[in-house]
Amino acid sequence: MNQLIAFLRPSSLFNLLCSFILIILVSSSFTWAQDSFDNTTVSTSWTPEELHTVGTAASAQQLEYYIRQLADFGTRHTLSDTVSNTRGIGAARRWIKAEFEKISEECGGCLEVFYVSGIVGPQNRIPVATNVVNVVAIQRGYADPNRFVVMSGDIDSRVSDPTNGISDSPGANDNASGMAGAIEAARILSTYQFPSSIIYTGLSGEEQGLLGGKILADYAIANEWDIKGVLNNDMIGNIEGTNGVIDNKSFRIFSEPVPGNESEGSRSSRRFFGGEIDGNSRQLARFIYNATKTYIPDLKPNLIYRLDRFGRGGHHRPFNDLGYAGVRIMESNENYNRQHQDIRVENGIKYGDVVEGVDFEYAKKLTQVNAICLALLGWSPPPPTGLRIGGIVEPSTKFIWNKDENDDIVGYKIYWRETTSPVWQYEKKIDKKNFYVLKDVIIDNYLFGISSINNNGFESIQKFPSGIFR
């Protein structure tokens, strides 16, 4: 550039003008190059319809790469080697951290990548004191950075003996698939900006008692994180059940009915007002259900109204225990010959959680669900606060909530359903106000929720009324 300017010596007004124009052009070209390099989209122009692009961005090939890399560490057991660079959970978590850092570098440092850890044990399944280490990557929101939505996968794996940290335990589906999904979601969404923050995390110690989740949930409380929801992805790559059923067109969303830390007063009021299946985790599950039906219509979401599989647990539970909304997203059909098994062949049956048991196209579909929901929630405004319901011995149902001074909120949507329906059946969009009468809808016959809508058309998770008025 300097040589070009020197060539055009300002010996005349004409040459001075040419030099000025040249500087502008070169500067513009430099700015364009920077913009081209930094492909981050300023998402203030986004609408919900544009999220279809997010839903098609996941790559089965990329997921296969992540899963194979994780399986190649031999074992990722919480008690396995932490020093080696090629084997054990230490190598795995350093690799995951490096992948998040690589993604961050490509988006101009948009991710804060760090460890959150704690010493656990000795206790059940942890015979000696062990440092349980989680990998966390935060994509900060530009408007409300302390409001978060979380996508988690598990780093660790196991074989038949839950304390065996030596034997090969590739954990390709349980849970390299969920961990790969979190990395892939970060790769996709890091090219955009959102008003609130998104966390992608790998949690350790799941097989030893949901230890990593508890460590991160406690960290969230200590740092006063406002968490909209936790999407725990645990086994998202298997399509063949132990019974031979093959299904690549559905998945399950597990959610508890009401918060685990609810008050006795809340329990008592439900006897009279209802809401037995309308806690914050259940509303998050319905949000994911609706998003899937809207953006991935060929994939069937199955709402499972239970905290987790019968008598079992997942890494969303520690967040539920503290009152956070959290669900488990996973495949519809489990293969118990591949889960928590020593690698072997018995009576012609292959046992073990190896890469060959993972369907990468299916893992792609469930990663797409997560990416879309993270984007929707990253864009969503806060739900209405102070929501109360009335209409006792009246022919209509009425609502009142706190007046919202947020200029980004332009209206609300009232949802209702029959008391036996698992999902919302009816809806009505209303202008920005804090009082509404739903005429000729009798309060006795339905359950209700209200969401906020911002100026881009994004909705919050539905809020169940927390009080009554007359």
Read off the pLDDT of each residue in 437-450 and give the average, rounded to a whole number: 98
Helix (H) or strand (E) holding 90: helix 89-106
**List of residues 6+ apart from 434 with CB closer than 8 A:** 384, 400, 401, 402, 403, 404
Residue with tokens 């009142």: 400
Domain 45-379, CATH class in plain words: alpha beta
Read off the pLDDT of each residue in 209-235 and give the average, rounded to a whole number: 98
Instruction: Quote the pLDDT of residue 45.
Output: 61
> Interior CA angle at 361 toward 60 and 47, to 5°?
75
CATH of 388-468 among 1.10.1490.10, 1.10.10.520, 2.30.30.100, 2.60.40.10: 2.60.40.10
What is the Cα Rg of the chain in Å?
A: 25
> Interior CA angle at 215 toward 193 and 182, to 5°?
35
pTM of the model as a whole: 0.90
Instruction: Indicate whether 21 pLDDT > 50.
Output: no
User: What distance in Å separates the CA atoms of residue 303 and residue 376, rounded to the nearest whole number?
Assistant: 19
Which residue blocks in 192-316 are alpha helix, DSSP H?
211-222, 264-273, 280-295
What average pLDDT is seen over the chain? 91
Instruction: Quote the pLDDT of residue 46.
Output: 82
Helix (H, G, I), strand (E, B) or coil at 224: coil
Instruction: Indicate whether 24 pLDDT > 70.
Output: no
Question: Smallest Cα–Cα separation from 316: which of 176, 157, 154?
Answer: 154
